[in-house]
């Protein structure tokens, strides 16, 4: 018995979007790689035409390549679990799956239910965001998590003492997985919805806005973040490279956002900005 394997080479930040779409074409197991991912389907039980449409839809994304082959059938869920390791952030927070046995305790422990088509929150930008959150006062703060993915940042905000968190993502699969992770981590002050910031309505403003997305979306949505930000509130951003910081800072300056501090890890970067008084 054989599996069909589709190997996708792409920017790691783009992997989750592609995995979600390819899963709709009949692929039911995924293995994340440093430069993309592998997708598996039983024999020919997948829609090749649909995969070709996905590739054409994103043909302008660089790098992007699709490679097909057939391999002997294995228990890919077990293979993936064996390769899925806990991540420790700054020796203060551990990100783990429920099946991991942890010998050392940390101030913060976040359990992400392993859904291979949803990503695991192990990217460098997630590390940077969590590290920055642990250095930012969340106590009794109102928090927005824009493009929440697995809701890992919302969960950290809850564990850091936030009063309430509003999370949202455009993808249905993210919202479903986020709800599951919120429940697993016993965080009852997080509301998660599907949609874009431009489509949703919010009651009141926020003290902290979290956004780990990508440079182009951040540049586009930054004015909207500011419109929902309380005076002297903070915007914490990641999902871009160190070389992108000047462009983001130029945009931020147009909306009275000033630099507080930044972080970097393997060429990826984070920015903490604060809204100046008028």
Q: Which of 8-22, 82-96, 211-225 has the highest mean pLDDT?
A: 211-225
**Who contacts 241 (Cβ-Cβ below 8 Å, separation ≥6)?**
215, 267, 268, 269
Choosing from 52, 81, 110, the residue where a domain stops is 81
Strands laid side by side in the 29-33 sheet: 29-33, 36-42, 2-10, 64-72
Task: State how far the Cα of 102 lies from the Cα of 260, in Å rounded to an integer.
Answer: 35
Choosing from 48, 81, 114, the residue where a domain stops is 81
182 located within any domain: yes
> pLDDT tens digits for 259-273?
999 999 988 899 999
Per-residue pLDDT at 117: 35
- CATH at 199: 3.40.50.150
Lowest-pLDDT choice from 6-15, 19-28, 133-142, 154-163: 19-28
Q: Name the more confident of 99 and 135.
A: 135
97 located within any domain: no
> pLDDT tens digits for 133-182?
999 999 999 999 999 988 999 999 999 999 999 999 987 878 888 999 99
- The pLDDT-based confidence of 239 (bands split at 50, 70, 90) is confident
169 located within any domain: yes
On whether both 248 and 138 belong to a single domain, the answer is yes
In the predicted model, what is the mean pLDDT of residues 2-12? 89
Per-residue pLDDT at 102: 81
Per-residue pLDDT at 118: 40
Choosing from 63, 81, 99, the residue where a domain stops is 81
- CATH at 45: 3.30.70
How many independent structural domains does the chain possess?
2
Average pLDDT, the chain: 88
Alpha helix segments (H runs only) across the chain: 15-23, 48-57, 76-83, 124-133, 152-159, 172-184, 215-227, 245-253
108 located within any domain: no
Please give the residue range of the domain that contains residue 227: 123-275
On whether both 163 and 240 belong to a single domain, the answer is yes
Task: Look up the pTM and report it.
Answer: 0.76
- The pLDDT-based confidence of 115 (bands split at 50, 70, 90) is low
On whether both 170 and 233 belong to a single domain, the answer is yes
pLDDT > 90: percent of the chain:
58
On whether both 218 and 132 belong to a single domain, the answer is yes
On whether both 138 and 37 belong to a single domain, the answer is no
On whether both 127 and 258 belong to a single domain, the answer is yes
């Amino acid at each position: 018995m054989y599996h069909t394997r589709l190997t996708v080479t792409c920017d790691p930040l783009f992997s989750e979007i592609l995995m979600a779409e390819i899963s709709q074409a009949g692929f039911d197991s995924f293995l994340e790689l440093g430069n993309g991912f592998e997708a598996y389907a039983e024999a020919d039980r997948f829609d090749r035409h649909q995969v070709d449409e996905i590739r054409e839809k994103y043909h302008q994304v660089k790098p992007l390549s699709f490679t097909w082959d057939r391999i002997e059938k294995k228990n890919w869920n077990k293979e993936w679990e064996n390769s899925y390791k806990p991540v420790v952030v700054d020796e203060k927070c551990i990100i783990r799956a429920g099946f991991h046995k942890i010998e050392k305790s940390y101030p913060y422990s976040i359990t992400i239910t392993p859904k291979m088509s949803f990503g695991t929150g192990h990217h460098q930008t997630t590390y940077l965001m969590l590290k920055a959150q642990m250095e930012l006062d969340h106590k009794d703060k109102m928090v927005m998590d824009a493009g929440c993915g697995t809701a890992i940042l919302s969960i950290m905000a809850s564990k850091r003492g936030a009063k309430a968190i509003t999370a949202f993502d455009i993808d249905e699969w993210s919202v479903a997985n986020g709800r599951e992770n919120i429940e697993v981590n016993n965080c009852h002050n997080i509301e998660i919805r599907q949609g874009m910031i431009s489509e949703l309505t919010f009651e009141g403003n926020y003290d902290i806005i979290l956004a780990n997305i990508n440079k182009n979306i951040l540049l586009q949505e930054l004015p909207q973040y500011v419109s929902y930000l309380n005076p002297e509130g903070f915007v914490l951003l990641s999902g871009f490279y160190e070389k992108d910081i000047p462009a983001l800072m130029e945009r931020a300056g147009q909306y009275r956002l000033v630099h507080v501090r930044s972080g970097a890890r393997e060429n990826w970067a984070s920015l903490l900005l604060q809204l100046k008084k008028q």
